[in-house]
């Protein structure tokens, strides 16, 4: 049974039992404590914790998950996988243990012909918490499991909590006996390879207190509402139903493993180290596909770093298996074909996904060539005879900072050579770098408090009524004032504080649009609005500077958005949609937005694309955008269910999470149809004009365009016009000939520079011959000195070339530096330019054995004397 069919049957079973089927949430988690959704219950956590009212009493889902804590173990064991799918059914105060047990058992044991999984009931074992007599009785009496196949286990194994005070409860797990070929007899406590866990039923009925670990905490009492949270590992059920040994051999992963084996000429099952690498490739290619599919792009921070890491581990594993060329073009399409039956959007969006992945591989192959050689050299030193077998922190940091070599990869490669890396020192250097970077860049947002203070405001006063789409002014009440995260009774002139209103017309920064500017006014005070954010869902917070009087908490506030600011912001945001649509019109649907930013008069848009845009393509994009403005395309805003928005092709920003009801902004109907909460013009002509100002790379497979809109576009074009007019006047040429005239001048300048260089070389050669003729012989070593105000290194090289092919030294003094050069015979005789300079200059200076330099000595004559003495000493010792 294919994994997609396992998924379909699970959802159909619970839908028939009255559960609302919920789509998988995107892998990037809304929870600020998580990078990715790592368990099936994560999207339902607010309902399970009582923080929000669930829209349904029963739900079921198959949730995409990513866990990276054990990433180094991936492939080394067959239990660990980075990406997996968790099938779950949930009850929010509806049914409890009896129904949960019945629903699980009926699906697992029902015949395949009747929509079940058809597992043999005689091979299923159950575990329960040691004191959970109710669950024990259900498995024994209702289901009919014999007592010898029901195992009581302790708190560490069969009692669930989140690790912090809150809901908790006993759990019951189901195991399947795969037979003696997989291990010893005796149940899950004896061998969990033979007895494979595939389902966990959590009976969430208690509240836990403070404590540590899995067992050291008190259970405080019953919860007011009892919930069910169950999870069936989709891949584990596929292992059982496909009768394979592990998750690397199911239909969604084995084809990728086989493709990697074919690409590298290896055979799975023949060599243990090869098998580990093939499993790494199979897991990581699938994980990368799913992450990029959900909008993650490679970067050096957070989620993007996780993606970069798994991609690079996969690419390196293929290289270690013997394949030197690009690998992902052969492997990623296989992963797509495996996963598309469950996630068809992977097929429709594959151009975007593959562009990002292939670009990252191409960049990393360059990184391996550059940084790999440096790392190999460092490791050769560290694992040599008598070496300390520890790679220094500054070496690891240089590899990361200069060559983009991830620390995890450095540690992994070093471990293969038996060398330890000073990771703590590396982290200290990274922290110092971040501190330096941030020291002089205290952004305006630093005035915002932690979310705890805002949640308290939300709990006490309720959500902010947001009026940004309706009006530019509002009469409001200052329900809270926060000074550095602490509630304050008032704020006086000159202070910068955070103010929460019960209602606001101000747009809070989101969706790439910068927040509104404006003012607060009230009895006895005025304030300037500096920034507007949404620190927690439902609340809008304003950072303000009190410009006069005193603002007390609870005061009436007349909130006014700067109309000019909002007009410019609307033009820029609508302009972003227009540029996006123009890019897709010119380049095709693969040019999909991956991020944006806009403020009044300015926009930038990042999109998936490999390679720069030619000047002709840029001009075409700009023309398509401005034609849309000229046609005065209508701008329409509609609210609809998320599923309907997807049906009509509304584009969503990958990585963003949307509510069930979404706002769809259309410009010219289907020409530009996107999910967006920003402010927009009513007709495209109100944007004024759009002028593209820049296009650049912002990472592998990602480009960025920048543009100005409205009056700023007019000003930009006016400056360009004035520049061309000025050049035309200086060149005494028609405007349409300016570019050709400037190109001709540039060519003439290059020719003149080459001629000057040639003449200078002739002069230097003549001067060098004269200097070489005045050389001194020091025990068989020719020594020549010179003084110049121009290029001392060039003169030193010419003098050295003019000296005889015996050991020779040239010293050239300038007002700034002393340069010493030694020829090949001189170095073979034991002379070193660096040693000579450092000795003469008392340790100051640097360079190599051939050429070195240092600050010009105060007494050049004395320096010549010291050099003469040193060279004579070295020459006489030969």
How many whole angstroms separate alpha carbon 141 and alpha carbon 98?
Answer: 11
Cβ-based neighbours of 495, under 8 Å, separated by 6 or more = 483, 545, 546
- Torsion, Cα 239 243 245 247, to 10 degrees, reads -20
Instruction: Dig out the tokens for 613 from the structure.
Output: 């845009």
3-state helix, strand, coil in the chain (%, to 5): 45, 25, 30
* Edge-to-edge strand list for the sheet holding 593-599: 593-599, 602-608, 702-709, 690-697
Which residues does residue 150 pair with via DSSP β-bridges, in sequence order?
A: 126
Q: How far is Cα 283 from Cα 313, in angstroms, rounded to an integer? A: 10
Under DSSP, the state recorded for 40 is T
Q: How far is residue 476's CA from residue 480's CA, in Å, rounded to a whole number?
A: 12
**54 closest CA partner among 39, 44, 42:** 44
- Region of 147 (left: φ > 0; alpha: ψ -120 to 50; beta: rest) is alpha
Residue partners of 190: CB distance under 8 A and separation at least 6: 183, 184
**Residue 775: left if φ>0, alpha if ψ -120 to 50, beta else—which one?**
beta
Alpha carbons 289 and 283: distance in angstroms, whole number:
10
Helices (H), 51-173: 97-109, 133-137, 155-158
CA dist., res. 495 & res. 510, Å (int): 26
Residue list, annotated binding site for Zn(2+): 573, 577, 676, 680
808-813 and 781-787 beta bridge pairing: parallel
Four-residue CA torsion sign, 466, 468, 474, 478? positive
Q: Which residues pair with 607 in a beta bridge?
A: 593, 703
Give the 3-state secondary structure of residue 404. Answer: coil
> ∠ at Cα 313 (310, 316), nearest 5°?
150
* Phi, psi for residue 498 in degrees, rounded to 5: -105, 130
Q: What gap in Å lies between CA 63 and CA 653, rounded to an integer?
A: 20
DSSP-derived 3-state class of residue 219: strand
The CA distance from 314 to 198, in Å, is 28
Strands 390-391 and 420-421: parallel
State the Cα angle at 599 between 593 and 604, rounded to 5°. 30
Per the CB < 8 A criterion, the answer to whether 63 and 25 are in contact is yes
Binding-site annotation: residue ranges: 573, 577, 676, 680
Q: What is the DSSP letter of 577?
A: H
Q: Is 481 helix (H, G, I), strand (E, B) or coil?
A: strand
Query: Rounded to an integer, what distance in angstroms lies between the CA atom of residue 548 and that of residue 399?
Result: 53
824 vs 808: CA distance, rounded Å:
8
């Amino acid at each position: 049974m294919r994994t997609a069919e396992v998924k379909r049957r699970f959802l159909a079973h619970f839908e028939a039992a009255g559960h609302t089927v919920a789509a998988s949430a995107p892998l990037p988690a809304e929870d600020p404590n998580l990078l990715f959704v790592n368990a099936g219950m994560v999207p339902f956590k607010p309902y399970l914790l009582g923080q929000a009212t669930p829209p349904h009493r029963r739900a079921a889902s198959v949730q995409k998950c990513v866990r990276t804590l054990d990433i180094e173990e991936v492939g080394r064991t067959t239990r660990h996988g980075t990406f997996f799918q968790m099938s779950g059914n949930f009850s929010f105060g509806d049914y409890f243990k009896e129904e949960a047990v019945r629903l699980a058992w009926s699906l697992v044991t029902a015949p395949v012909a009747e929509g079940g999984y058809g597992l043999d009931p005689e091979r299923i074992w159950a575990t329960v918490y040691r004191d959970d007599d109710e669950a024990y009785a259900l498995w024994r009496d209702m289901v009919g499991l014999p007592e010898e196949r029901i195992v009581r286990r302790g708190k560490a194994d069969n009692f669930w909590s989140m690790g912090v005070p809150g809901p908790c409860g006993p759990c019951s797990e189901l195991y399947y006996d795969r037979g003696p070929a997989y291990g010893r007899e005796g149940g899950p406590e004896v061998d969990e390879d033979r007895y494979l866990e595939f389902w966990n039923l959590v009976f969430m009925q208690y509240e836990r207190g403070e404590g540590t670990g899995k067992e050291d905490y008190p259970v405080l009492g019953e919860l007011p509402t009892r919930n069910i949270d169950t999870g069936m590992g989709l891949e584990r059920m596929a292992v059982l139903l496909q009768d394979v040994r592990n998750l690397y051999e199911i239909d969604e992963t084995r084809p990728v493993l086989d493709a990697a084996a074919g690409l590298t000429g290896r055979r799975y099952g023949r060599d243990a180290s090869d098998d580990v690498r093939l499993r790494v490739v199979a897991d990581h290619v699938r994980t990368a596909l799913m992450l990029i599919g959900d909008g993650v792009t490679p970067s050096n921070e957070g989620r993007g770093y996780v993606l970069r890491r798994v991609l690079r581990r996969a690419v390196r594993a293929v290289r270690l298996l013997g394949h030197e060329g690009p690998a992902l073009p052969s492997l990623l399409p296989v992963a797509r074909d495996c996963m598309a039956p469950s996630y068809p959007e992977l097929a429709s969006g594959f151009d975007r996904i593959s562009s990002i992945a292939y670009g990252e591989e191409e960049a990393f192959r360059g990184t391996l060539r550059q940084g790999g050689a440096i790392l190999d050299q460092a490791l050769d030193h560290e694992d040599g005879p008598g070496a300390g077998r520890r790679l220094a922190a500054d070496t690891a940091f240089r590899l990361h900072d200069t060559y983009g070599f991830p620390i995890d990869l450095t540690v992994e490669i070093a471990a293969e050579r038996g060398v330890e890396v000073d990771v703590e020192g590396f982290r200290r250097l990274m922290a110092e770098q971040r501190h330096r970077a941030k020291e002089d860049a205290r952004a305006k947002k630093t005035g915002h408090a932690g979310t705890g203070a805002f949640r308290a405001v939300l709990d006490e006063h309720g959500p902010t009524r947001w009026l940004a789409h309706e009006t530019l002014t509002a009469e409001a009440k200052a329900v809270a004032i926060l000074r550095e995260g602490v509630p304050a009774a008032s704020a006086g002139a000159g202070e910068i504080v955070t103010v929460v209103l019960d209602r606001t017309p101000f747009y809070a920064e989101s969706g790439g649009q910068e927040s509104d500017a404006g003012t607060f006014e009230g009895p006895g005070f005025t304030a300037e609005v500096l920034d507007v954010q949404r620190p927690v869902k439902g609340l809008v917070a304003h950072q303000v500077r009190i410009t006069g009087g005193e603002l007390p908490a609870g005061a009436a506030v007349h909130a006014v958005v700067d109309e000019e600011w909002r007009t410019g912001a609307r033009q820029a945001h609508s302009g972003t949609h227009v540029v996006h649509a123009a890019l897709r019109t010119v380049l095709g649907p693969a040019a999909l937005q991956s991020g944006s930013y806009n403020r009044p008069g300015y926009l930038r848009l990042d999109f998936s694309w490999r390679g720069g845009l030619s000047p002709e393509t840029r001009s075409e994009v700009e023309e398509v955008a401005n034609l849309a403005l000229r046609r005065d395309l209508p701008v329409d805003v509609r609210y609809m269910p998320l599923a309907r928005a997807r049906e009509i092709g509304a584009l969503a920003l990958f990585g963003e999470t949307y509510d069930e009801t979404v706002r769809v902004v259309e410009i010219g109907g289907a020409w530009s149809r996107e999910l967006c909460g920003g402010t927009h013009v009513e007709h495209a002509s109100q944007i004024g004009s759009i002028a593209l100002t820049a296009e650049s790379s912002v990472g592998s497979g990602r480009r960025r365009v920048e543009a100005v809109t409205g009056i700023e576009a007019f000003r930009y074009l006016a400056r360009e016009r004035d520049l061309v007019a000025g050049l035309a006047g200086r060149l005494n040429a028609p405007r349409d000939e300016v570019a050709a005239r400037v190109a001709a001048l540039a060519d003439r300048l290059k020719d003149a520079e080459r001629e000057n260089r040639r003449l200078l070389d002739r002069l230097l050669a003549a001067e060098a011959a004269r200097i070489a003729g005045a050389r001194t012989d020091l025990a068989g070593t020719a020594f020549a000195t010179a003084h110049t105000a121009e290029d001392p290194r060039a003169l030193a090289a010419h003098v050295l070339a003019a000296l005889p092919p015996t050991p020779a030294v040239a010293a050239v003094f300038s007002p700034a530096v002393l340069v010493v050069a030694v020829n090949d015979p001189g170095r073979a005789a034991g002379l070193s330019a660096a040693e000579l300079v450092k000795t003469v200059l008392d340790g100051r200076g640097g360079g190599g054995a051939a050429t070195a330099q240092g600050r010009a000595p105060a007494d050049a004559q004395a320096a010549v004397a010291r050099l003469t003495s040193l060279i004579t000493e070295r020459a006489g010792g030969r």
